[in-house]
Structure 1
Amino acid sequence: MDQMITALIMIIVGAAIGGVTNSLAIKMLFRPYNAIYFLGKRVPFTPGLIPKRRDELATQLGKMVVEHLLTAEGIKRKFLQVQFQDQLISWGETQVKKVTNSEKTAEQILESFNVNEPSQKADVLLKTFLQGKYEELVHENKSKPLQELLPKNLLDEAYVAIPKIGQFIIDKGISYFESNEGKQKLKKMIEDFLATRGMLGNMIGMFLGNESLVDKVQPEVLKFLKNKETHVLITTLIGREWSQIQDMTLDELDQKWGIFEKGSTIVNTVVETLNVQDLLSKPISAYLKPNEDKIIQEWLPKMVTLSIQYLTSHLEEMLKKLKLEEVVREQVETFAVDRLEDIILSISRREFKMITYLGALLGGMIGGLQAIIVMFIQ
């Protein structure tokens, strides 16, 4: 009976020693968090293993993340998965519909980004940009002839249009002089002409009369305009003038017609015609809603495809620039040890308990073995 009690005590003591030893070993992974000193000497096994090796752990974790977890090849495989691309398109479709159905104006959106008076600023920026481009264009090309600046196809089209322009001028002239207004204008011109000819003009007026004279001149003017030679003459004159204009530089054209100032005026007129304030004050849905189907069905898949192609082709370079290894290392180095302990224990608490129980079991078995040996010895 005494031997059984002795054996039981040895088993219990062995189990307690094994369990407590393993539990202590687990706690010594994390604790104490800081080194303990006694009489100026650091107490062995302080701080705990993980706090003591935190810098090394941080470095190794950084390498593990970069070399084995977040690798360029693994991320590329994820990007190239059809399911992932479909998810991106589905998410993009939701975002597009939110935007295309939004009643917010462009002005309100800009103001939400702390852009005050966006309409006025956009108007000024647009004027400044266009005026700057116009002045830059003039400065770079003011010594060049017009024919060097205009595209060849535009020059060819201008030559083809010259006969049409000549015919247009003649048709308008015929229409004008056939009208009452044109006849009255012709009569006034005759009167002014005769008035400058003194007595001779008065004599012609007395003999023929202004009404009779305009009736004789009007048919001749119309006959002149309807003559084929007149069309040839006007076409030739326009063609000659156009050839001279092509040979003129922008400086010469400016001296003759002041085109530089007119160009600046045109720039301002274009900006005013655009009416930026009106454009920005409309809901963005007014511009995007009519194209919603096209954006979702055509543009969005292309954008996703192009984005993935760009990311996969530049992924290694981007990961190098991100320096994930350093990011992980810095995060781990600044991570509180007690917080790290809580995270690890929350994941492995059951396993750690099993290790403690295993230690108690092994300790108990060793205590039982020792009891058997003692009994045989006695």
Structure 2
Amino acid sequence: MQTLILIGFMVVIGAVIGGLTNSLAIKMLFRPYKEVKIGSWSVPFTPGLIPKRHDELASQLGKMVVDYLLTAEGLGKKLKSTHFTNGMISWLQIEVKKMLTSNESAAFLIEQCLGIKSPKQLLLTKTETIVRQAYQQYFAANKNVALEQLLPESLQKNVEANLPNVTDYILERGHAFLQSPEGKEKVSVMIDRFLLTKGTVGNMVSMFLGNERLVDKVQPELLKFLKDQGTNELLYNLLQQEWRKLKQKKLIEIENYLNEEEIVSFIVRTVDTQIPFFEWLEQPMNQWSGAYEDYIENNLIPKAVGVTVDLLTTHLEGLLERFHLDDIVREQVQAFSVERLEELVLTISKREFKMITYLGAVLGGIIGLIQGFIVTIIG
């Protein structure tokens, strides 16, 4: 009977020691949270394992995440997966459709989403700046270059090919003007003014003509002159000469005849009135987007997602390096309190830790039983 009591006592003692030891070992993973000192002497095993290795754990977790979890290869496969790309396309199509069918203007949406006030005026101001800079740079770089070298060859050939037409047009308009009552009266005034400047000679001419008006004699001759082939050739040769002279002029020579402000203003006004984008900015989106909605949703968005995914996948490794994910994880783990970490681990693994404690008790009881048998045999 005493032997059974001894063996049972040793089994109980072994189980208690085994259970308490395992329970204490589990608690020592986290506690104490801070180092305990008696005077200048630090108590061993303080702080607990995890608080003591908190910084090292944070650093190793950061490396593990970068090296094994969030790798460029793994993320690249995820980005290229059909499920991800289809989901991204569907989400973008829904969001873009909401925007395109909105009653708000593009300018309003830009102000709300991007915080850019008066986007149309901002774009026009930027356009004016770009045009002005380009104008000034062009003149600065080509001021000593002849127009013949600056004008496109096709334009020069076109001008030369149309000189006969210009000649005919000038003569026809001149002929039509002289035939009109207004033209005849202008010629009469010019003749009278000419005769007045000639004094006696003018009076003699007027006396010889009597009641006939000089314009009635001059007008038919002028009309014949304008219809004459020699006049046509003369004017054509004159235009050719002037065109050749103009081509030989340097850009700086005609700069004084140009007004920079007027040219820049004209170009900006043309951009504003001729490019629909500037008009669309201040119109409700649903007034003009209907013609482009199908193309944007079914063509532009899938292509944009594909290009974006390919671009990200190609440069993913460099992007991850620039993000410094290991530093981010390390900083987050370091900022995570040990108390909260203990609570989280115990919440997840409470059952397993209890089983470890019970296992320690069972092993301690078995060891106590074996010791009891050994003591009984020896004693």
- Smaller-chain TM-score bracket: 0.7 to 0.9
Matched residues in 1 for 2:292 and 2:215: separation?
A: 66
Matched residues in 2 for 1:330 and 1:204: separation?
A: 114
Match of 2:104 in 1: 104
Matched residues in 2 for 1:204 and 1:297: separation?
A: 89
Q: CA deviation at 1:313?
A: 2.2
Match of 1:162 in 2: 163
Instruction: Report SS of the residue matched to 2:315.
Output: helix
- Count how many residue pairs are aligned between Structure 1 and Structure 2: 371
Q: Determine if contact 1:107/1:119 at 8 Å carries over to the other structure.
A: yes
Matches within 5 A, 1:202-281: 202-203=206-207, 205-209=209-213, 212-213=216-217, 217-218=219-220, 220-255=221-256, 258-259=257-258, 262-272=259-269, 274=272, 280-281=281-282
Matched residues in 1 for 2:230 and 2:14: separation?
A: 130
Match of 1:366 in 2: 367
**Identity fraction in percent:** 41
Q: CA deviation at 1:309?
A: 2.5
Q: Determine if contact 1:195/1:201 at 8 Å carries over to the other structure.
A: no
Q: Are residues 178 and 345 of structure 1, via their aligned partners in 2, closer, same or farther at CA, if it must alter by over 3 Å?
A: farther
Structure 1, 98-107 or 111-120: larger mean CA deviation = 111-120
Q: Are residues 200 and 313 of structure 1, via their aligned partners in 2, closer, same or farther at CA, if it must alter by over 3 Å?
A: farther
CA RMSD of aligned residues (A): 3.3
**Residue identity in the other structure for 2:40:** G
Q: CA deviation at 1:139?
A: 1.9
Structure 1, 53-62 or 332-341: larger mean CA deviation = 332-341
Q: Is 2:63 the partner of 1:59?
A: no
Q: Are residues 237 and 279 of structure 1, via their aligned partners in 2, closer, same or farther at CA, if it must alter by over 3 Å?
A: farther
Q: Are residues 31 and 152 of structure 1, via their aligned partners in 2, closer, same or farther at CA, if it must alter by over 3 Å?
A: farther
Q: Is 2:31 the partner of 1:22?
A: no
Q: CA deviation at 1:52?
A: 0.8
Q: Deviations over 1:13-48 (max 9, x none)?
A: 444433332222222111111111123211111111
Q: State the TM-score, normalizing by the size of structure 2.
A: 0.82
**Residue identity in the other structure for 1:199:** N
Q: CA deviation at 1:158?
A: 2.8
Match of 1:172 in 2: 173
Instruction: Report SS of the residue matched to 1:208.
Output: coil
Matches within 5 A, 1:92-171: 92-109=92-109, 111-112=111-112, 113-115=114-116, 121-171=122-172
Matches within 5 A, 1:289-368: 289-368=290-369
Q: CA deviation at 1:168?
A: 3.3
Instruction: Report SS of the residue matched to 2:74.
Output: helix
**Residue identity in the other structure for 2:213:** G
**Residue identity in the other structure for 1:84:** F
Matched residues in 1 for 2:5 and 2:151: separation?
A: 114
**Residue identity in the other structure for 1:263:** E
Q: Deviations over 1:274-310 (max 9, x none)?
A: 2799765433555544322222233222322222222
Q: Determine if contact 1:194/1:205 at 8 Å carries over to the other structure.
A: no
Q: Are residues 117 and 97 of structure 1, via their aligned partners in 2, closer, same or farther at CA, if it must alter by over 3 Å?
A: closer
Q: Are residues 169 and 37 of structure 1, via their aligned partners in 2, closer, same or farther at CA, if it must alter by over 3 Å?
A: same
Matched residues in 2 for 1:325 and 1:211: separation?
A: 100
Matched residues in 2 for 1:322 and 1:333: separation?
A: 18
Q: CA deviation at 1:243?
A: 1.7
Q: Determine if contact 1:101/1:285 at 8 Å carries over to the other structure.
A: yes
Matched residues in 2 for 1:70 and 1:94: separation?
A: 29
Matched residues in 2 for 1:343 and 1:174: separation?
A: 102
Structure 1 unaligned regions, length at least 5 = none
Structure 1, 92-101 or 169-178: larger mean CA deviation = 169-178
Structure 1, 311-320 or 288-297: larger mean CA deviation = 288-297
Instruction: Report SS of the residue matched to 2:145.
Output: coil
Matched residues in 2 for 1:342 and 1:305: separation?
A: 44
Matched residues in 1 for 2:299 and 2:287: separation?
A: 20
Instruction: Report SS of the residue matched to 1:23.
Output: helix
Q: Are residues 207 and 88 of structure 1, via their aligned partners in 2, closer, same or farther at CA, if it must alter by over 3 Å?
A: same
Q: Determine if contact 1:195/1:202 at 8 Å carries over to the other structure.
A: no
